[in-house]
Amino acid sequence: MNPVNYLFLAALLFTIGASGVLLRRNAIVVFMSIELMLNAANLALVTFSRMHGNLDGQIIAFFTMVVAAAEVVVGLAIIVTIFRSRHSASVDDAGLMKL
């Protein structure tokens, strides 16, 4: 199969993820969408690695997976804490970034 198709898939996944992040309010869903984007990036990296016969891409993909796993641990913990204190997982409610 033409590897370019994998790239289209990756782009599609990234778009879905990005729209999820931008459009959904629920922090858990936003979080999952971010995972989707990360994996889209991973897919693209692996595809490029395959296309160019260079292993760097695959190595970076592994790193990304480790970082993503760490992020899930920390991120979920934060979301749960916020949910506990505010009884809501909506990202718009957490307006603390404003000065």
Partner 1 sequence: METSIGLLVAAPLLGAAVLLCGGRRLDRVGHWVGTALAAASFVLAAVLFADMLGREADERSLHQHVFSWIPVGGFQADVAFQLDQLSMTFVLLITGVGTLIHVYSIGYMEHDERRRRFFGYLNLFLAAMLLLVLADNYLLLYAGWEGVGLASYLLIGFWQHKPSAATAAKKAFIVNRVGDIGLSIAIMIMFSTFGTFAFGPVLDSVGETGEGTATAIGLMLLLAACGKSAQVPLQSWLGDAMEGPTPVSALIHAATMVTAGVYLIVRSGAIFEAAPTAQTAVVTVGAITLLFGAIVGCAKDDIKKALAGSTMSQIGYMVLAAGLGPIGYVFAIMHLVTHGFFKAGLFLGAGSVMHGMNDEVDMRRYGGLRKYMPITFVTFGLGYLAIIGFPGLSGFFSKDKIIEAAFARGGTEGWILGGAALLGAAITAFYMTRVMLMTFFGEERWRNAPAPSPERPDVEPVAQGGGEYEVPRPHESPRSMTVPMIVLAFGSVFAGGLFSWGDAFVNWLAPVTTFEHGHPPISAATVTAATVVALLLGVGLAWLQYGRKPVPVVAPRGSLLTRAARRDLLQDDFNHVVLVKPGEYLTRGLVYLDHTVVDGVVNGTAAAVGGLSGRARRLQNGYARSYAVSMFGGAAILIAATLLMRAV
Candidates 16, 28, 29, 91: give the one binding partner 1 (CB under 8 A): 91
Stretch that binds partner 1, among 4-12, 15-23, 56-64, 78-86 (CB under 8 A): 15-23
By CB under 8 A, residue 99 contacts partner 1 = yes
- CB nearer to partner 1: pick between 53 and 95: 95
Question: Which residue's structure tokens are 């692996």?
Answer: 46
CB contact set of 94 (below 8 Å; sequence gap of 6+): 82, 86
Structure tokens at 41: 């990036």
Residue type, 82: I
| CB nearer partner 1, residue 29 or residue 72 | 29
Torsion of CA 51, 55, 57, 58, to 10 degrees: 110
Give me the residues that bind partner 1 (CB under 8 A), please.
Answer: 18, 21-22, 25, 91-92, 94-99
